[in-house]
Amino acid sequence: MRIAVIGTGYVGLVTGVALADLGNDVICVDNNPDKVALIQSGRSPIYEPGIEEFITRNLDEGRLRVSGSAAEATQQSEIVFIAVGTPPSADGSPDITAVVAAAKEVAKGISKYTLVVNKSTVPVGSGEMVADLLREAGVDDSLFDVVSNPEFLREGSAIWDTMNPDRIIIGAKSREAAARLIELYQPLDKPVLVTDLQSAELIKYASNCFLAMKISFINALSRMCEACDGNVGDVAKGIGLDHRIGPAFLGAGLGWGGSCLPKDTAGMIRVAESMGYDFRLLKEVVAINDEQPRHFIDRMEERLGGLSGKTIAMLGLAFKPNTDDIRDAKALVIAEDIRARGGKVRAFDPVAMDNVRALDTQISLSDNAYACCDGADAVLLVTEWNEFKQLDFGKIGTLVKNKVLFDGRRIYSKESLGKFGFEVFTIGSP
Ligand code: UGA
């Protein structure tokens, strides 16, 4: 099929290259000429393991093209995906300016029947809004359908997630409107749920909010475990073995961050408010998440007898491993908190340091984990990169001022680090 994908962020670019790889003719569109040139040269504007291989293969084999014009790409396509960003506005509600702009450009390119697919995370009612924009631009109703097809990929495993989705959600006014999309996804051989537009839009928000709720739930339990000498890892295993609960997203830690869960929980609260519903449960999910890193730093402050003048070696800056993304990363919140309590933060991250350099933070950056720990009063693990799992703690013990480690992601065993004389503080353990 001939497909245009508007937007080359995580969702758009990954969707574009995945659909090209499945044998479709895809045009990826971005209004930023630098991104267009970069992709055309086989490189990726986002950090995502494996994506450049997909870009070059599909460019070389002629299935992938890149363009700066959404209107032109629409003209040449049967299906157009709108996959632009919907960042949070100041009040937490999603900013859909880019979706509106994309819809207006798409309208200019429709001269034959075109299926317009909303893949961006958008508030309920946005599908209807896109249809209205097309009509206002003079596109006849017979020439288009707008459907919602939310994306569930995770940064760091985006290509695998796109090729192996648990489910495909299609929100459409009629089964006929959904038919072409069902055909497009047929090679993936995954369950497809066809529903109305509003429900599809809600499913996307509800999924991210439910995941956030699971993590906040286990983080609330981590506080109880710390108080009663329990072990939150075992509690998570114990409840996760119940198939009605499931083991995923029960990893206690410093809380959820990134560009999606914080944005979508805040967005859902605002969307619910706009419908006259006060989503109190979700507000508490957010409050628990905000409290979690503060509480861990309280423990650190208590152990070190204050943070004033202390240097903390922070391992990890990205909001999770396998990404350079620092949007809403817990590392930044924690660094600010430590600084506010009089301490200094020195950090190392395998890929996210350039993004931190571009911000105005007071975090000093080291070339590697060992340099980061040199002379530190305590070590704090924030992002569970694989390369932090097998560090030489014998060597780190000779570098640090105090052999005290705060494990914010539960990757170290107290026994194995104890052998090197380290005192280990773990979230969810006494
Ligand atoms: C999330 C969803 O998982 C995807 O399904 C969705 O498509 C995506 O948002 C989106 O809306 O685009 P992502 O933001 O890439 O994906 O990251 P996750 O893997 O969900 O992790 C989110 C945060 O939760 C991270 O800070 C991670 O450290 C934290 N987390 C995750 C935990 O603290 N514990 C866990 O058990 C799992």
Q: Whose CA is nearest to atom 29 of ligand 1?
A: 256
Asked if residue 411 has pLDDT above 90, the reply is yes
Best of 10, 155, 168 to mutate for ligand 1, by most ligand atoms within 8 A of CB? 155
Q: Whose CA is nearest to atom 23 of ligand 1?
A: 256
Structure tokens at 120: 């961006």
Residue 260 falls in the annotated catalytic set: yes
One domain for residues 253 and 275: yes
**Would you place residue 27 in the very low, low, confident or very high pLDDT band (cuts 50, 70, 90)?**
very high
Q: Total structural domains in the chain?
A: 2
One domain for residues 53 and 94: yes
**Would you place residue 88 in the very low, low, confident or very high pLDDT band (cuts 50, 70, 90)?**
confident
Question: What is the predicted pLDDT for the residue at 119?
Answer: 96
Segment 251-286, tens digit of pLDDT: 999 999 999 999 999 999 999 999 999 999 999 999
Segment 127-163, tens digit of pLDDT: 999 999 999 999 999 999 999 999 999 999 999 999 9
Question: What is the predicted pLDDT for the residue at 91?
Answer: 87
d(C-alpha 271, C-alpha 198), whole Å: 12
Catalytic residue among 225, 260, 372, 373: 260
One domain for residues 181 and 237: no
Domain boundary, last residue among 195, 218, 248:
195
**Span from the CA of 72 to the centroid of ligand 1 (angstroms):** 35
Q: Whose CA is nearest to atom 27 of ligand 1?
A: 256
One domain for residues 152 and 208: no
Domain CATH for 150: 3.40.50.720
Question: What is the predicted pLDDT for the residue at 94?
Answer: 87
Domain boundary, last residue among 195, 219, 236:
195
One domain for residues 257 and 278: yes
One domain for residues 177 and 209: no
Question: What is the predicted pLDDT for the residue at 59?
Answer: 98
One domain for residues 238 and 149: no
One domain for residues 260 and 324: yes
Question: What is the predicted pLDDT for the residue at 360?
Answer: 85
**Would you place residue 57 in the very low, low, confident or very high pLDDT band (cuts 50, 70, 90)?**
very high
Global model pTM greater than 0.75? yes
Give the range of the structural domain holding residue 241, as residue numbers without chain letter: 197-430
Q: Whose CA is nearest to atom 8 of ligand 1?
A: 154
Output the average pLDDT for the chain.
96
One domain for residues 150 and 231: no
Best of 120, 204, 261 to mutate for ligand 1, by most ligand atoms within 8 A of CB? 261
Asked if residue 164 has pLDDT above 90, the reply is yes
One domain for residues 181 and 201: no
Asked if residue 174 has pLDDT above 90, the reply is no
Asked if residue 314 has pLDDT above 90, the reply is yes
Question: What is the predicted pLDDT for the residue at 175?
Answer: 86
Best of 120, 211, 237 to mutate for ligand 1, by most ligand atoms within 8 A of CB? 211
One domain for residues 114 and 141: yes
- Give the residues surrounding ligand 1 with Cβ less than 6 Å away: 121, 151-155, 208, 211, 215, 249-251, 253, 256-258, 260-261, 319-320
**Would you place residue 386 in the very low, low, confident or very high pLDDT band (cuts 50, 70, 90)?**
very high
Q: Residue 272 — φ and ψ, nearest 5°?
A: -60, -45
Mean local confidence (pLDDT), 42-51: 94
Asked if residue 239 has pLDDT above 90, the reply is yes
**Span from the CA of 256 to the centroid of ligand 1 (angstroms):** 7
